[in-house]
C-alpha cells in the first residue's frame, strides 16, 4: 500500500510534466527536484525510464476511461462535450503529446488506441452534431480530420470553450457552405 502511494507521487508529477512538454520533459533529476525526493526512489519503483513511461501510459488509460464514462452521460457535442474536454484538460494534453511522439512507436501506438476508444464513444454525438447518419463511417472519417485540427492547434492556454466552439462550428459550416453552393449550381443548371 505504502509502495503504491509513493510511486503514485512520481507518476502524477510525471503525467503533468509529460502533458506540458512531452517525453523530453521527463528527467529523473527534475522529477526528484519537484517532489523533493531522492532519485533512488524512482529507480526502486520503476527500474528505469521505460518502466516509468509504462506507468504513465497506465495512468493515461485510467484517465481516458474516466473521461469516456462521463462522455456516456452527455447529450450534446456543443456545449456539453466541449466542456467535458476542458474539464479533462490534462488528459487531453497528455494525448496530444503522445500523438506528437511519432518517433516512439510504443507511445504512438498507445495514442491510436485511445483515439479509437474515444471515436467509438463519441460517434452518435458527432454525427448528430453534423446532421449525418451515424450508421455509416462517413461522419467519423470527418471526425478523424477535425480531431487532427485539435491535435495540431491545441495548447494549455487555448484549451477553452471559445476555441473549441469555433473549431467545431467552422468544421460544420464548411461542409454546409460547400453543399449549399453545389445545390445552387445544380439549380442553376436546371433552370
Interface residue list for other proteins (CB under 8 A): 24, 99-100, 102-103, 130-133, 138-139, 141-142, 145-146, 148-149, 151-153, 155, 157-158, 170-171, 174-183, 186
For residue 161, the minimal CB distance to other proteins (Å) is 18
For residue 10, the minimal CB distance to other proteins (Å) is 22
Angle at 167 between CA 112 and CA 93, to 5 degrees: 40
For residue 72, the minimal CB distance to other proteins (Å) is 26
Choice between 43 and 163, CB closer to other proteins:
163
Residue in 140, 121, 145, 120 with CA at minimum distance from that of residue 130? 140
Choice between 75 and 190, CB closer to other proteins:
190
For residue 185, the minimal CB distance to other proteins (Å) is 9
Cα dihedral 175, 137, 57, 157, rounded to 10, equals 10
Helix (H) or strand (E) holding 10: helix 2-21
Whats the size of the chain, residue-wise? Answer: 191
Amino acid at each position: 500500500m505504502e509502495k503504491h502511494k509513493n510511486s503514485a507521487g512520481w507518476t502524477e508529477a510525471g503525467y503533468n510534466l509529460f502533458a506540458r512538454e512531452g517525453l523530453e520533459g521527463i528527467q529523473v533529476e527534475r522529477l526528484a527536484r519537484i517532489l523533493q525526493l531522492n532519485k533512488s526512489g524512482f529507480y526502486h519503483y520503476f527500474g528505469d525510464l521505460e518502466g516509468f513511461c509504462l506507468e504513465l501510459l497506465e495512468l493515461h488509460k485510467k484517465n481516458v476511461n474516466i473521461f469516456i464514462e462521463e462522455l456516456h452521460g452527455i447529450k450534446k457535442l456543443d456545449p456539453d462535450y466541449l466542456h467535458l474536454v476542458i474539464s479533462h484538460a490534462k488528459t487531453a494534453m497528455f494525448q496530444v503529446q503522445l500523438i506528437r511522439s511519432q518517433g516512439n512507436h510504443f507511445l504512438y501506438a498507445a495514442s491510436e488506441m485511445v483515439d479509437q476508444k474515444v471515436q467509438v464513444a463519441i460517434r452518435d454525438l458527432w454525427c448528430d452534431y453534423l446532421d449525418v447518419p451515424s450508421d455509416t463511417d462517413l461522419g467519423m472519417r470527418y471526425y478523424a480530420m477535425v480531431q487532427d485540427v485539435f491535435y495540431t492547434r491545441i495548447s494549455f492556454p487555448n484549451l477553452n470553450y471559445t476555441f473549441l466552439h469555433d473549431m467545431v462550428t467552422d468544421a460544420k459550416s464548411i461542409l454546409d457552405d460547400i453543399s449549399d453552393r453545389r445545390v445552387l449550381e445544380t439549380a442553376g443548371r436546371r433552370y
